[in-house]
Amino acid sequence: MLVYAVFGDPVEHSLSPAMQNAAFSAMGLSARYLAFRVRRERLRDAILGAEAMDFGGLNLTIPLKEEALKVVVPDDNAAAMGAVNTVAFKEGSILGYNTDGLGALRALEGAGVRVDGSRILIIGAGGAAKAIARQLALSRAELSIANRDRGRALALAAAVGGRGYGLPDLEKLVPEAEVVVNATSVGMKEGDPRLLDGRLFREGQAVFDIVYNRKTELLQDATRAEARVLDGVMMLVYQGALSIEIWTGRKAPVDVMEQAVREELKNR
């Protein structure tokens, strides 16, 4: 039986074991996916140990994605992002990939949202925002990026060919956007402050929140405005599906994985 794992700190909250084990079962693979708490300073040891024990592959979550670049050989996308979330052991090499951006793109496209040529507003300029912005720019979206630290938004916008703004500019940017993406963790906890006035949303917009553990206030406001809403579950699912494809060369059962995630969320 092959062993796969997610490393993170903390990692107890991860939905990846339920999701990936459901996928392996549906695919008829003799494999098991586990979660391990790994401190940043021990990541090299943990990755090398997994290679030595013939693990099938790894996922990495906070705070290990950047640290992994010191251990793996990254592909062009992971190198450009400065972060790795998938590790594969192939022919004596330890390879690193970043599936965040493509996972977000597939989630949008899977919901019927047009990306090519669309005016897309990304809120945030952290790791997830960087991956999403790069992928959507490659898909020829017209990007605006707003962040609390305007300087970080300007830097990311310059890197991907978009425009950078501060959060006060959301009053103008939100009504103009065809797609709004929250790429921050705001909304993960009940009681988090709202990023923006929900009355700015309008019918016909697509509003995508990468938070997946609850229906955020952002999505509640967008629903009231009769916008099309997408939670972060499908981004998580497509990220995981892409990891399986990297590890096995086989297409992953996305529908089975989504069901497993949503069932797990109900039980928490």
What is the C-alpha separation between 194 and 215, in angstroms, rounded? 13
Determine if residue 61 is labeled as part of a ligand binding site: yes
Determine if residue 218 is labeled as part of a ligand binding site: no
Q: Which of 65, 130, 189, 215 is labelled catalytic? A: 65
Burial label, 220 (beta-carbon count in 10 A; 0-12, 13-18, 19+): middle
CB 45 within 8 A of CB 15: no
Determine if residue 232 is labeled as part of a ligand binding site: yes
Determine if residue 14 is labeled as part of a ligand binding site: yes
Which residues touch 239 (CB under 8 Å, ≥6 apart)?
Answer: 85, 99, 100, 103
Determine if residue 139 is labeled as part of a ligand binding site: no
Q: If you compute the radius of gyration of the chain from its CA atoms, what whole number of angstroms results? A: 18
What is the C-alpha separation between 163 and 225, in angstroms, rounded? 26
β-pair type (73-74, 86-90): unpaired
Determine if residue 9 is labeled as part of a ligand binding site: no
- Measure Cα distances from 24 to 98, 138, 147, 183, 242 in Å: 21, 31, 38, 29, 13
Determine if residue 212 is labeled as part of a ligand binding site: yes
What is the C-alpha separation between 62 and 266, in angstroms, rounded? 23
Determine if residue 192 is labeled as part of a ligand binding site: no
Q: Which two tokens stand for residue 5?
A: 């794992």
Is 215 a catalytic site residue? no
Determine if residue 126 is labeled as part of a ligand binding site: yes
Q: Which two tokens stand for residue 83?
A: 């972060």
Determine if residue 239 is labeled as part of a ligand binding site: yes
Determine if residue 205 is labeled as part of a ligand binding site: no
Determine if residue 147 is labeled as part of a ligand binding site: no
Binding residues for shikimate: 14-16, 61, 85, 100, 212, 239
| Residues noted as catalytic | 65
Binding residues: 14-16, 61, 76, 85, 100, 124-128, 210, 212, 232, 239
Binding residues for NADP(+): 76, 124-128, 210, 232
